[in-house]
Structure 1
C-alpha cells in the first residue's frame, strides 16, 4: 500500500503495516450561558424536596440500643395504681368487718355448714315516730323545728323534719357525728311538702334528710348522734332532743340463710 506523503508530520509505509494516525485531541465544549426563561404562571418555581428525619424520632439502631419502651399505668389523677406497704414484725393488717364476714360465709359453704350471717343495724334510743307523740305540735311551736320520723336501713338513715313556715326562704341542716363529736359532718335536708292546719294552728313545712353510713362504721358499740338546725330570717333554731342529742346505737343480729337461698345471699353480700 503506497500512501502519498502530504506533509512532514506523516510518514510513508509500504507493505502490510498499518498507518498510525494520531487521533485529534478532545475538545471541550464551551460553557453554555443560562438563559432566563420567562414564565407567565403565578405558581412558585418548584424546588427539590428534601426529606429529613425528625429529631424526636430515633432511628432503628438507636431504638435497639435503648431497649424496649417502658409502660406506666396511672389513674385519672396521675397517681400510681400500685401501692406497696411494708408491715413490721408483729404488726397484723386490719381486715374490715364486712370483708371478714364474706370470707366466713364462703368457708361455711365450703364445709357444708348452714350459712349464718351477722348483720349490723342502728337502733334509735327515741321513738321512731316523733310526730305521733303527745305534745308534738306544742313542742314544734316552742322550738320552731322538730324531728318527725326516723328510718334505718342497709342503705343508710333517712328521716323527716317539721319546721314552722315563718318565711319562704329557709334552710334545714342535720349536724351528725360517729365519733362522739370528735369529728362531724353536715347533711342538708330538702323540702317535701307543706302541712296546712285548721284554726289558729300554724302551718309547717316538711323536710327530708339522709345520713350516709359507710360499711366500716357498722361495728358494735358505735353510736350515731345528730341534731337539727333550722335557719330562717337570719336566726337559728335547734332541735337536739332537749339537750341530749338524737342517738342511734349499732347492734348486730344473726341470720340463718335457708339452703335454697345460699347462692343468692352470698352473691348479694
Structure 2
C-alpha cells in the first residue's frame, strides 16, 4: 500500500508546446480596432450633373423679380385707343418739378395742408368748461401735420370703464370710418360742477396723400361711451371740419442746385 502511494505522488513531467509558424493573415482583413482607411478621391455622385451638363443648364437659367409672396413684379397693362392711363398726382408733381428745373425757372413747391374751419382751438374758448359739463365730452385741441391729424379730447370722469372714439369722413358722410382714442392722463380742472375730474384722450386721423387736393374736406365727431350711455361732441351739430388748402413754398437756390435734373 505504501509503495503504490509513493508511486502515485511521483512528479509528472509536462512537455511545453512546440513553437508554431505564424499563420498567414487573410487578405483584406485587419486585426486592428481602427476602421480601415478610405480613399481620399471618391467617385462623383450620379445625381450631380457633370461640368458639361452644368454649362448646358446654365444657358437655360433666367432671372425673375418677385415680391415677398412670390408674385411677379412685372405687370403689363394694355390701353385701348382713347383710354388715358391714370398717373398719380405725386408722379405728376415730380415731373412738373423736374420740367421747371430743366427750364431754369424759379422753383416753387405747392404743399397741401388741412386748415380747421373753426378759428380758435376749442380749449381756448371761454365757455369750454361749460360745454364740457353739459356734453360730458369736448374736443380741446387739433394739431395738423403732414401724416394726419392729432386731436386731444377731454371727458368727465363719470366711471372707470370708458371708451372714446372718433367718426370721420372725407366724402360728406357718403362713407365714414371710426378710430379709437387712447387714454393719456387724468387731471383736475377748476370750475367743474360736481367735483368731477377729467380724463384726457388722444386720437390720430390718418390722411391719405390722394385726399390732399385743394377743396377736400375732412369732417369728424367724437363719441364718449360710459355707463352704457353715449355722449357726442359734434360741434353743435355742424361737425368739426378741416379744409385742404395749398401754399407755394419757394425752393432755396442751394437746394435747387442739389436736386437731380431730368431732361
Q: TM-score, normalised by structure 1?
A: 0.71
Mapped to 1, the partners of 2:120 and 2:190 lie a distance apart of 26
Residues 184-232 of structure 1 deviation map (CA, whole Å, 9 limit, x = unaligned): 2222222222220347442111111111112111112211111112122
Alignment CA distance shift 1:205-1:42 (3 Å): same
Q: Secondary structure at the match of 2:118?
A: coil
**Is there any run of 5+ residues in structure 1 with no aligned partner, and where?**
1-39, 44-50
Shift of 1:64: 7.3
Alignment partner of 1:173 out of 159, 165, 171: 165
Identify which of 222, 227, 252 aligns with 1:228.
Answer: 222
1:157 aligns with 2:143: no
Partner of residue 126 from structure 1, selected from 118, 122, 128: 118
1:251 counterpart (241, 245, 253)? 245
Residue among 103, 109, 114 paired with 2:106: 114
In 1: Cα distance, 2:215 partner to 2:188 partner: 41
Matches of 2:218 and 2:190, distance apart in 1: 37
CA-CA distance at 1:161 after TM superposition: 0.5
- Distance in 2 (CA, whole Å) between partners of 1:250 and 1:177 is 14
For the Cα contact (< 8 Å) 1:177–1:224, is it kept in 2? Answer: yes
CA contact (8 A) 1:121 1:251 kept: yes
Q: Compared with structure 1, are the counterparts of its residues 64 and 221 closer, same or farther at alpha carbon in structure 2 (3 Å cutoff)?
A: same
Report if the CA contact (8 A) 1:116-1:257 is conserved: yes
Change in 2 beyond 3 A, CA 1:262/1:201: farther
> How do 1:4-19 and structure 2 match up within 5 A?
none
Picking from 65, 68, 85, the partner of 1:93 is 85
1:120–1:253 CA contact under 8 A, matched in 2:
yes
CA contact 2:158–2:196 (8 Å) conserved in 1: no
CA RMSD of aligned residues (A): 3.2
- TM-score, normalising length: structure 2: 0.73
**How far off its partner does 1:115 sit?**
0.7
Query: For the residues of structure 2 that align with 1:216 and 1:263, how far apart are their CA atoms?
Result: 29
In structure 2, runs of 5+ residues without a counterpart are 1-30, 35-42
Q: 2: CA distance between counterparts of 1:244 and 1:42? A: 96
Structure 1 residues 65 and 154 mapped into 2: Cα distance closer, same or farther (>3 Å)?
closer
Q: How many residues align?
A: 233
**Higher Rg of the two aligned structures:** 1
